[in-house]
Chains A and B, each alone.
Chain A
Amino acid sequence: AQKITQTQPGMFVQEKEAVTLDCTYDTSDPSYGLFWYKQPSSGEMIFLIYQGSYDQQNATEGRYSLNFQKARKSANLVISASQLGDSAMYFCAMRAFRTGANNLFFGTGTRLTVIP
């Protein structure tokens, strides 16, 4: 079975500072993908970044980077130079390609608030 755990219900960060949102996962599937989505107050789900289990390097997309530690089964999202528009819910999700590809398993989310 697949499981995603986000242990931080809420986080605060000062504008222009960096912040790390934690995500740990559990799967026995050797082939999987890890995703981060942003959900602003308007409700839509915005894809941020993807990391494959066989990728050698940590994924980066602009101000977003994924700190992938395979042995620890963690996939933390790092947001650099936080902006007010980063205030939102952030969801970590996983897709296990061999055993559960039809389901993207989500964590319970972390609400990030950026303080001016």
Chain B
Amino acid sequence: NAGVTQTPKFQVLKTGQSMTLQCAQDMNHEYMSWYRQDPGMGLRLIHYSVGAGITDQGEVPNGYNVSRSTTEDFPLRLLSAAPSQTSVYFCASSLTATNTGELFFGEGSRLTVL
């Protein structure tokens, strides 16, 4: 069972560079999301999707872009990296947005922006 797969696990960027964090799930989940985790702040929602072709902003969307062309994939793009985007990023999915089941998380991607 692959579950939710994120790549890369570690990345170092220079300010201004762009990159894409990949996320894929093999559970046929409709809902997918990206969170960032910063010390002392818990996890905060960046963007989410409730199905292919449908995305929306979360709490902290600035500086990030997403797309959902397939049910399986939900990449997160950093358009022009800034040191404030240094964080651990988690992709998560669930069957739907309203089901009572758990959110399944990827293993996380640690991003450092210099």
Interface string of B34-68 (1 = CB under 8 A from A): 01000011111100101000001011000000000
Q: Which residues of A contact B74 (CB under 8 A)?
A: none
Interface secondary structure of A, over-half rule? strand
Chain A residues within 8 Å of chain B by Cβ, number: 21
Closest to A6 in B: B42
A102 to B110, CA, bound (A): 24
Are A35 and B97 closer than 8 Å at their CB atoms?
Answer: no
Chain B residues within 8 Å of chain A by Cβ, number: 28
Interfacial residues of chain A within 83-116, with CB under 8 A of chain B in the complex:
91, 93, 97, 101-104, 106-109
**Chain B binder among A43-51, A63-71, A73-81:** A43-51
A23 to B100, CA, bound (A): 19
Q: Which residues of B contact A4 (CB under 8 A)?
A: 42
Given A103-B59, A104-B45, also A45-B97 (CB < 8 A): no
Are A101 and B97 closer than 8 Å at their CB atoms?
Answer: yes
Closest to B103 in A: A104
Taking the nearest CB of chain B, how far is it from the CB of A107, in angstroms? 6
**Interfacial residues, chain B to chain A (CB-CB below 8 A):** 31, 33, 35, 40-45, 48, 50, 56, 58-59, 88, 90, 92, 97-98, 100-105, 107-108, 110
